[in-house]
Chains A and B, each alone.
Chain A
Amino acid sequence: MLASYLVFDFFNYPAFWVVAATIALVAFFSGRYLQNRESRVKFLIEQANLKTRQIAELEKINKELETKNRDLYSKDLALTMANKRLQSLEEAKSKFVSVTTHQLRTPLAAIKWIFDLAAKGQLGVVSDDFKKSMEQGLISTNRVITIVNDLLKVDSIEEEQVDYKFQPADLSKLLEETLQEFTSQARMKKIELALEKPKTPIPFIDMDYNKIRMVIENLIDNAIKYTPQDGRVTIKLSDERLNTAEGAVQISVADSGIGIPSADTSKIFQKFFRAGNAIKAEPNGSGLGLFIARDIIEKHNGTIWFENKPAGGAAFSFTLPLHQKKV
């Protein structure tokens, strides 16, 4: 009875509920809290581990980057040094070529004079055989002089010393004049030298007269040199203003000569390069003429190229824009 009363009483006593509910709540929440705390700690530890791993990873990447940077820096340094060295080598080479070629001219002049005087019998009476030998000596000396002069031209081109003086000039007259220079050389080999011009005269063209003359001389000289007797060399001037973007004329020098071997076609404009058959036909060239020609034409914003003709022989052509942009 008492017990049931007590029980009853407890249940009917509001304070009991309050206490019980509080206990239950405290128990419930502290459980939750503990559980939460545990997972939070776990989470934090995981996070910390992750961070540590990430930091380690980053440090590793950083180190790699540093090494790579150092590598790059030292490579950059090496390249800069190599470049400087190349530059000074180039300068040394240029100076060497310039000094030696200039200095060569004095003794070459002396040799040339002596051969010339001896060949003409001005140093005393000599036999015909002796004269012939002296003439051969003179020819060889002149070849050396040509090479020396070509080397100087190349040297000045590479140093960009060459001042181009663009002035409107009569290209068709220039072609006629240049052709005149070669008439006796062509006659000696019985080569027919012809000039074809458009019916309507072309206007004056902005150019460096002497440089363009040098190019035309070189092309005609080559054409005659590499064409056997009874051959033909044709110089053609054509108005290509309607067919070219820049409004240009075209000059072609075509011959019936030995042509250019297909193995050599890519190198024909390179410095010092001479095609195999050219060396056989003319052992004493410098391999600089076409290199110089290309440089001059490119400085005129033109293009130079060649084709082997199906019928035999080669044709070198170049374009010259009518006008040069004012710099």
Chain B
Amino acid sequence: MTTPRALLIVESEWRYYKRTWWSTVITTWLRPILFLLAMGVGLGTLIDRTADQALGGAGYLAFLAPGLMAASAMQTAITDSSWPVRTGIKWRKHFWAQISTPVTPDDILNGLMIWVFIRLVFVSTAFAVVIWAFGAAPLDRGLAAVPAAVLCGMAFASPMAFLAAWFKEDSTMIALFRFSLIPLFLFSGAFFPIDRLPDLLEPLALFSPVWHGVDLCRSITLGTPLALPLWVEVGYLLAVTVVGWWAAIRRLRKTLNL
């Protein structure tokens, strides 16, 4: 039996990643630690003076941790799916080399998504361990939240791959990143319940996959009730993933002229 071609792409991504893995270790482990330390522990000491029940009642650190887990999955997914597509088409141009072999654009995209999935599992598991070390959630609950975080990440990975293949200019993508990444991160419900947002922004947050991811993760680690039925939240994340995946494949076929 021959190896599916998409797995060959995974293998090549792995080879590329191996050379620079140390730099992602920094972002994988250090980012959650620093954020939890600064916001959860540091700012938490100020927030816990009031002990607002809207924050789940278990202290700010326990409220923040699962939210950051989903938000980190989003960030990993966005950078790991957009830049490889961009550089594959325009800078390293390795997509062009790959399609001159039996590999098709579909294989490239499928391979890349599988690769992002593997990265998300790793990053989210690392996060669960960090949360546990901080005493913000038991290890079993943290690990139970990993699938939710990964799903949340995938709902960003595929649409971002589509956008990265679609944009003509790098500067458009950079501008989009700078406009959207921080609001997505800040207004995801990870830091505070979204009902504190201005009325105008609140419904917008509902459409953001990350909010569903945060809600799912938090209900798993903290036991807070879900804002919407489980099937709606999971279904929404799955739907965004699939639509993004389909659009990305179509776009990549077009960009690579096949």
A binds B: no
A interface with B by C-beta (< 8 Å): none
